[in-house]
Amino acid sequence: MKRILIVTVLLSVTFSSCAEMQQVINQFPQIQGIGGVDVSGGLKEALNNGISKQVTKLTATDGFYKNEAVKILLPDELKKVDSGLRKIGLSSLADEGLKVLNRAAEDAVKEATPIFVDAVVNMSFSDATTILMGNESAATQYLENSTSTALYGKFNPVIKNSFDKVGADKVWNNIITKYNSIPLVKKVNPDLTDYVTNQAMKGVFKMIAVEEKNIRTNLSSRTSPLLQKVFAMQDHK
């Protein structure tokens, strides 16, 4: 009788331990995502595809200037400068001013692409599954919200160098000087590198979002087994 009791207790403890062990084991896939699929890795791959397939388009001549989705327009402060120059017959100078802002962005994104790649590699998702099940640009929005401040600090010096490289600083010094010499106008002295840095970053994130949407909505854009497994999860959300 004692033996039966002892065996029963041991079996109870054993099965109890196995059940607890199984619970622990069942939690391991959640570290990666769902059912052992690396959701975080899939989201990063989607973002990197956005950089390699879409952001690189911005680095070509007219990549910003002739892409209406990301074209850098004049800030409000300089719209009156543009109008003032055209009124005194300097339309070509005004046109050149807008073009060189976009040229600086095109050159800077070319130089700074590794900065954005590094940001994706080093980022961590607080809740990858929720982001996967979010809207069509949820991962891009997360990237933008979590890295913009750090990216600005790295990207702004590149914009400054590009301004000098494409001659944007000279063009705009000339524009501002001519405008400020017009009688009775309120003089301006804008920080164009700050403005173009922010606008160029917006353009980069917008193009990454384009590819994320493609991957979420177009099966043929899921070009790897990981992308196929991860984004299949959100197809029927």
Separation CA 210–CA 103 (nearest Å): 22
Domain ranges of the chain: 38-232
Q: Work out the pLDDT band at 126, boundaries 50, 70, 90.
A: confident
Nearest to 49 by CA among 236, 199, 230: 230
> Mind listing the pLDDT tens digit for each residue in 190-233?
899 999 999 999 999 999 999 999 999 999 999 999 999 999 99
Average pLDDT, the chain: 84
Percent helix / strand / coil, the chain, rounded to 5: 75, 0, 25
Contact 82, 97 (CB under 8 A): yes
> Mind listing the pLDDT tens digit for each residue in 15-37?
333 333 233 223 333 334 556 78
pTM higher than 0.85 for the full model? no
Separation CA 159–CA 175 (nearest Å): 19
The alpha carbon of 53 is separated from its chain's Cα centroid by a whole number of angstroms, namely: 13
